[in-house]
């Protein structure tokens, strides 16, 4: 099942990139090739620097936990397809809380904001994460895996689910109102997630879910997307150099973070 990860990732990416080309919701501020080049460079850099360091111990840990039968999932008797579905739901909930933490804790926000500096959300934004964030999440995920104890197949299914959901909900596409309402009962739609990328912190510090939308509703962070707010994406700062590789890499160290350590003091507009 692990072999499916790369082809599904590349296939999903190509599919959403194609659909955006045919039916983009927002006009392109920059040539798409320029965005693709920058974010592909980010993805390659992250893959080389981190995945090579992290992937082996990660898989080893997941396999070790599964073999030992540790965690809540085996205790509750989850296995087979039921276990995979339960893993998808439970880890998606963990992901929701981790994402919420990334917005609340100053140090985590320094890394996570690099994803939000993009003033134009599309499928390539799904690649735009800082290696520092990925590195910290690696340790957090080790804890989740130890606590939940997913099967290897369950964990891979979750990773595939997250990457396809992320490509989908960052895409520069939109659905007719009726479809949007129906889809949004269950999953995170492009409109809903784009509202998490608005300069306005009303929806920017809300709407955290990745795959299933239920977590925002359940934990009180659901905010209705607003058409006016959706016209202004990104953050107040870093708007001129968001497609610079160096600015992307050094953003967590930028002096403009000094007065933003407390997320409560972030600019609201
Ligand atoms: Zn976020």
Render pLDDT for 113-151 as a digit per residue (tens, 0 to 9). 999 999 999 999 999 999 999 999 998 999 989 999 998
CA 100 to chain centre: 11
- Is 204 among the domain residues? yes
Centre of ligand 1 to C-alpha 208, Å, is 6
Centre of ligand 1 to C-alpha 170, Å, is 11
Q: How far apart, in Å, do the first and last CA atoms of the chain sit?
A: 45
- Is 243 among the domain residues? yes
**What pLDDT, on the 0 to 100 scale, is given for residue 191?**
96
Taking residue 262's Cβ as centre, other Cβ atoms within 10 Å add up to: 10
Centre of ligand 1 to C-alpha 10, Å, is 23
- Is 141 among the domain residues? yes
pLDDT band of residue 220 (cuts 50, 70, 90) is very high
Give the span between the Cα atoms of 219 and 31, in whole angstroms: 38
pLDDT tens digit sequence for 203-213? 999 999 999 99
Give the sign of the dihedral formed by CA 219, CA 62, CA 50, CA 253. positive
Give the sign of the dihedral formed by CA 42, CA 43, CA 49, CA 54. positive
Centre of ligand 1 to C-alpha 266, Å, is 14
- Is 36 among the domain residues? no
Looking at the structure of the chain, the number of domains it has is 1
pLDDT mean over 53-75: 86
Q: How far is CA 90 from CA 17, 61, 71, 130, 262, in A?
A: 29, 18, 12, 25, 29
- Is 49 among the domain residues? yes
- Is 24 among the domain residues? no
pLDDT mean over 214-225: 96
**What pLDDT, on the 0 to 100 scale, is given for residue 267?**
47
- Is 269 among the domain residues? no
Centre of ligand 1 to C-alpha 214, Å, is 17
Centre of ligand 1 to C-alpha 9, Å, is 21
Residue 212 phi, psi (nearest 5): -95, 135
As a whole-number percent, the residues of the chain with pLDDT over 70 amount to 95
At residue 263, does pLDDT exceed 60?
A: no
**259 and 265 Cβ atoms separated by less than 8 Å:** yes
pLDDT mean over 210-219: 97
pLDDT band of residue 54 (cuts 50, 70, 90) is confident
**229 and 265 Cβ atoms separated by less than 8 Å:** no
Centre of ligand 1 to C-alpha 78, Å, is 31
Centre of ligand 1 to C-alpha 72, Å, is 28
Centre of ligand 1 to C-alpha 38, Å, is 20
pLDDT band of residue 53 (cuts 50, 70, 90) is confident
Torsion angle of alpha carbons 197, 94, 140, 109, nearest 10°? 20
Nearest to 74 by CA among 147, 141, 1: 147
Centre of ligand 1 to C-alpha 67, Å, is 34
Centre of ligand 1 to C-alpha 154, Å, is 24
Give the span between the Cα atoms of 216 and 222, in whole angstroms: 5
**What pLDDT, on the 0 to 100 scale, is given for residue 216?**
97
Nearest to 39 by CA among 150, 155, 125: 125
- Is 28 among the domain residues? no
Centre of ligand 1 to C-alpha 195, Å, is 10
Centre of ligand 1 to C-alpha 209, Å, is 9
pLDDT band of residue 240 (cuts 50, 70, 90) is confident
Global pTM? 0.90
Centre of ligand 1 to C-alpha 27, Å, is 23
Give the span between the Cα atoms of 104 and 112, in whole angstroms: 10
**161 and 88 Cβ atoms separated by less than 8 Å:** yes
Q: How far is CA 267 from CA 125, 198, 257, 260, in A?
A: 22, 12, 12, 9
Centre of ligand 1 to C-alpha 203, Å, is 10
Centre of ligand 1 to C-alpha 205, Å, is 8
- What is the span of the domain harbouring residue 237? 2-18+41-256
């Amino acid at each position: 099942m692990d072999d499916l990860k790369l082809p599904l990732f590349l296939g999903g990416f190509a599919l959403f990139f194609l659909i955006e080309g045919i039916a983009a919701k927002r006009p392109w501020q920059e040539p798409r090739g320029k965005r693709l080049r920058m974010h592909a460079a980010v993805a390659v850099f992250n893959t080389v620097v981190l995945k090579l360091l992290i992937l082996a111990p990660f898989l080893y840990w997941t396999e070790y936990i599964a073999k030992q039968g540790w965690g809540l999932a085996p205790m509750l008797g989850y296995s087979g397809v039921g276990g995979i579905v339960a893993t998808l739901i439970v880890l998606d909930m963990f992901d929701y809380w981790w994402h919420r933490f990334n917005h609340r804790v100053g140090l985590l926000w320094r890394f996570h904001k690099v994803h939000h500096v993009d003033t134009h959300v599309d499928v390539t934004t799904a690649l735009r994460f800082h290696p520092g964030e990925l590195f910290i999440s690696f340790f957090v995920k080790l804890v989740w895996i130890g606590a939940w104890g997913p099967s290897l197949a369950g964990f891979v299914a979750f990773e595939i689910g997250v990457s396809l959901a992320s490509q989908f909900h960052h895409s520069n596409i939109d659905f007719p109102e009726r479809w949007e309402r129906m889809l949004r009962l269950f999953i995170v739609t492009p409109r809903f997630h784009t509202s998490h990328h608005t300069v306005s912190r009303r929806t920017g510090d809300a709407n955290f879910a990745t795959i299933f939308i239920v977590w925002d509703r359940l934990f009180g962070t659901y905010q209705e997307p607003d058409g006016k707010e959706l016209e202004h994406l990104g953050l107040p700062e870093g708007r001129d150099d968001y497609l610079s590789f160096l600015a992307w890499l050094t953003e967590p160290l930028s002096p403009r973070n000094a007065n933003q350590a407390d997320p409560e003091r972030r600019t609201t507009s």
